[in-house]
Amino acid sequence: MIGARAALVLFTAFLAAAPFFLSEFYVTLMNYIGLSTLVALGLVLLTGVAGLMSFGQQAFVGVGAYTSAVLAVHYGASPWIGLAAGLALTGLIAVGLGVITVRLSGHYLPLSTIAWGISVYFLFGNLEMLNKHDGVGGLPPVAIAGWKLDTGRESYVLIWLVVLAALLAARNLLDSRSGRAVRALRFRATMAESFGIDTARLKLVIFLYAALLAGLSGWLYAHFTRYVSPGAFTVNMGIEYLFMAVVGGASQVWGAVIGASLLTLLKEWLKDILPTFFESSGNYEVIVFGLLMLPLLHRARDGLMPVLARLGRAGRRAPARVVTADPLPRRAGPAAGTPLLALAGVQKNFGGLAAVRALSFDMRAGEILGLIGPNGAGKSTAFNLVTGVLPSDAGEIRFCGGRIDALPARRIARLGIARTFQHVNLVGAMSVLENVAIGAHLRGAKGSVRAMLRLDRDEERRLLHEAAKQVERVGLTAHLNDASASLPLGQQRLVEIARALAADPVLLLLDEPAAGLRFQEKQALAALLRRLRSEGMSILLVEHDMDFVMGLVERLVVMDFGEKIAEGLPRDIQANAVVIEAYLGGIEEDAP
Ligand code: ADP
Ligand code: MG
């Protein structure tokens, strides 16, 4: 059994020793593995973590390679100029392509990356300046302070230093404020937006990062082989890169190394044996890869990395150590009793169904307002309108005096509204602590680049400290490092509350927080909500459990079929005939 750190040390030791005992042939092979690892690593982040599919990474490799090749061969530029120009061009194209496609859901991104890959391949093969299909040769080697890297072993040093740096940077990124946001992108985009994360921008950043890794790989490739031709950037290659990411383990940084190693070695081996089975030569290895993928993905859906990690303990990340840190600054809330939230004639239609109809109510700072009503009354929809998850069709919503009904969810979050979701919206594979830390996203500022360089540690400690404090508040400290999906539903609701509290909100919206809780847990939750109110928090509470609400709230708003049917003090509502009718609706009374 070996730990993650030991595995890293062993791997680095192997890399350092390899050029001394491997033959020229295997050193070259290792170089190709390193080059592929860079591209596959971008796909791990893009596809495995963020859930965006690209079949066009080979085209970015090509842009990085060709840019430097043309500048060096036609204009005598140094490879370092070529690197800067190649990355700049790759970045420009990635941003251009990303701005158009990344926001669109569904198949737009995969399809446009295929189209992009094909067109670049034909462009390379048909431009006179690029020597068409013959390619550009005679590239100079990279030189570092006068040291020319003109052998395979010397290129090896550069390639693997870059790969190691990229792997560590990617690992650092995933373990940070931005990383948590990226990991929420795939399945929890609505939640992420509700905590202030700009998901479209983040997707673009990841797409750009993956493209830059590919461009970097292309530059290294060009100056290692000293020759570029269109054949290295076919759509086949794009598919192979995806295979590598998937086989290795598309959501794990080290999976990129495993996938790239395995497929590169396998391809080399297949190149030797396949021609003995087939009459003519061709790219048969892609067919074999495809056939091998089926049983692999059947047995190990998440790729080989988790399987290997189970053998050792390498994949399991050490539980986060929460150390004390300076508390994050708090928001200055409005004075108790001032108008906080006001809905006026708010409307939401789903096709022919008016889920929320001309809904109006006011709420003051420091109160707990209950929003009740039978199933399907429109309570959750009203929440979604207030938080900007859904746009309203008519009416006005004001928060602290300002209109918010036209703002996107992440802007509303910034104003100090935090919520929980009726259908629990946690990142299942992430720990309780990390899930709650997403709530504090807007209380940090360090972005992806600083995270990669580990320049975010001070802020990160403060964010995690804050998250741990909120986890303790809801009584889940014992589960701090457990995957949130491993908790029973009732406790997952508590994690949702802790995450909302981590945002330091002015107004807290809770959608059926007591559902699934046991009696004692409900009592503890009620005590927590009372404590929050005494600290000046305003709470809008949707709840089904009447007993739970009655003892807790100042006032109630009752909805039925999208409309407000009553509003008042709990004991008046309890005696209100219209409300009783709505709740008991359809049940005939026997009494005369
Ligand atoms: P509640 O939270 O009070 O139980 P909801 O707000 O979830 O009620 O739902 C109100 C009505 O709107 C229901 O009839 C529900 O089926 C419908 N509804 C909710 N969300 C959607 C949606 N995204 N698309 C279509 N209909 C919806
Ligand atoms: Mg609901």
Mean pLDDT, rounded, for 207-216: 97
User: What's the whole-number average pLDDT of the chain?
Assistant: 89
Mean pLDDT, rounded, for 329-351: 92
Burial degree of 518 (CB within 10 A; 0-12, 13-18, 19+): exposed
Mean pLDDT, rounded, for 292-306: 76
Instruction: Tell me, using a 6 A CB cutoff, whether residue 522 lines ligand 1.
Output: no
Fold of 344-416+505-590: Rossmann fold (3.40.50)
Mean pLDDT, rounded, for 195-220: 96
Longest dimension (CA), the chain: 103
Identify which has the larger pLDDT, 270 or 179: 179
Distance (Å) of CA 191 to CA 108, 202, 424: 23, 14, 10
97-106, 162-171, 293-302, 327-336: range with lowest mean pLDDT:
293-302
Distance 376 CA to ligand 1 centre (A): 6
Distance 350 CA to ligand 1 centre (A): 8
Q: Where in the chain is the domain with CATH 1.10.3470?
A: 22-313
Percent of the chain with pLDDT over 70: 94
- Please say if the pLDDT value at position 317 is more than 60: no
Mean pLDDT, rounded, for 188-209: 94
| Ligand sitting nearest the alpha carbon of 421 | 2
Distance 473 CA to ligand 2 centre (A): 25
Q: Which residues pair with 359 in a beta bridge?
A: 346
Q: Are 495 and 426 in contact (CB under 8 A)?
A: yes
Q: What's at 362, amino acid-wise?
A: D
Instruction: Tell me, using a 6 A CB cutoff, whether residue 374 lines ligand 1.
Output: no
Identify which has the larger pLDDT, 591 or 213: 213
Mean pLDDT, rounded, for 87-112: 88
Residue nearest to atom 10 of ligand 1 (CA): 378
Instruction: Tell me, using a 6 A CB cutoff, whether residue 439 lines ligand 1.
Output: no
In which band, very low, low, confident or very high, does the pLDDT at 146 lie, cut at 50, 70 and 90? confident
Q: What distance in Å separates the CA atoms of residue 220 and residue 240, rounded to the nearest whole number?
A: 19
Q: Please report how many Cα atoms fall inside a 13 Å half-sphere around the Cα of residue 126, on the Cβ side.
A: 6
Mean pLDDT, rounded, for 519-542: 90
pLDDT of residue 45: 93
Please name which of 44, 54, 67 lies closest in space to residue 107, comparing C-alpha atoms. Answer: 54
| Ligand sitting nearest the alpha carbon of 355 | 1
Q: Which atom of ligand 1 is nearest to the CA of 377?
A: 3
Q: Which atom of ligand 1 is nearest to the CA of 375?
A: 4
Ligand 1 pocket mutation, candidates 381, 421, 542, 564, criterion most atoms within 8 A of CB: 381
pLDDT of residue 312: 59
Strands 394-399 and 339-350, by their bridges, are antiparallel
Q: Are 517 and 525 in contact (CB under 8 A)?
A: yes
Task: Categorise residue 146: left if φ over 0, alpha if ψ from -120 to 50, beta otherwise.
Answer: left
Ligand 1 pocket mutation, candidates 350, 379, 541, criterion most atoms within 8 A of CB: 350
Distance (Å) of CA 496 to CA 175, 220, 371, 573, 585: 21, 46, 19, 29, 32
- Please say if the pLDDT value at position 304 is more than 60: yes
DSSP assigned state of 536: T
Q: Tell me the per-residue pLDDT of 371-422, one tens digit each, with 9 for 90 and over.
A: 999 889 999 999 999 999 999 999 999 999 899 999 999 999 999 999 999 9
Q: Which atom of ligand 1 is nearest to the CA of 356?
A: 10
Handedness of CA 398, 385, 348, 202 (dihedral sign): positive
Instruction: Tell me, using a 6 A CB cutoff, whether residue 390 lines ligand 1.
Output: no
Instruction: Tell me, using a 6 A CB cutoff, whether residue 334 lines ligand 1.
Output: no
Please name which of 173, 254, 251 lies closest in space to residue 2, comparing C-alpha atoms. Answer: 254
Identify which has the larger pLDDT, 213 or 284: 213
| Ligand sitting nearest the alpha carbon of 386 | 1
Q: What distance in Å separates the CA atoms of residue 178 and residue 187, rounded to the nearest whole number?
A: 16
Mean pLDDT, rounded, for 135-153: 88
Q: Which atom of ligand 1 is nearest to the CA of 384?
A: 6
Distance 540 CA to ligand 2 centre (A): 13
Residue nearest to atom 20 of ligand 1 (CA): 381
Q: Where in the chain is the domain with CATH 3.40.50.300?
A: 344-416+505-590
Q: Tell me the per-residue pLDDT of 453-509, one tens digit each, with 9 for 90 and over.
A: 999 999 999 999 999 999 999 999 999 999 999 999 889 999 999 999 999 999 999
Please name which of 11, 237, 207 lies closest in space to residue 109, comparing C-alpha atoms. Answer: 207
pLDDT of residue 300: 74
Q: What distance in Å separates the CA atoms of residue 378 and residue 374, rounded to the nearest whole number?
A: 9
Ligand 1 pocket mutation, candidates 347, 353, 379, criterion most atoms within 8 A of CB: 353
Residue nearest to atom 7 of ligand 1 (CA): 380
CATH of domain 22-313: 1.10.3470
Distance 101 CA to ligand 2 centre (A): 33
Residue nearest to atom 15 of ligand 1 (CA): 376
Instruction: Tell me, using a 6 A CB cutoff, whether residue 348 lines ligand 1.
Output: no
Residue nearest to atom 27 of ligand 1 (CA): 350
3-17, 275-289, 560-574: range with lowest mean pLDDT:
275-289
Identify which has the larger pLDDT, 359 or 326: 359
Percent of the chain with pLDDT over 90: 62
Instruction: Tell me, using a 6 A CB cutoff, whether residue 516 lines ligand 1.
Output: no
Tell me the three state secondary structure of residue 309. helix
Q: Tell me the per-residue pLDDT of 415-454, one tens digit each, with 9 for 90 and over.
A: 999 999 999 999 998 999 999 999 999 999 999 999 999 9
Please name which of 236, 202, 9 lies closest in space to residue 118, comparing C-alpha atoms. Answer: 236
pLDDT of residue 496: 95
- Please say if the pLDDT value at position 549 is more than 90: no
Please list, residue by residue across 91-115, b when 16 or more beta carbons sit within 10 angstroms of its beta carbon and e when fewer do. bebbbebbeebbeeeeeebbebbbe
Q: Which atom of ligand 1 is nearest to the CA of 511?
A: 2
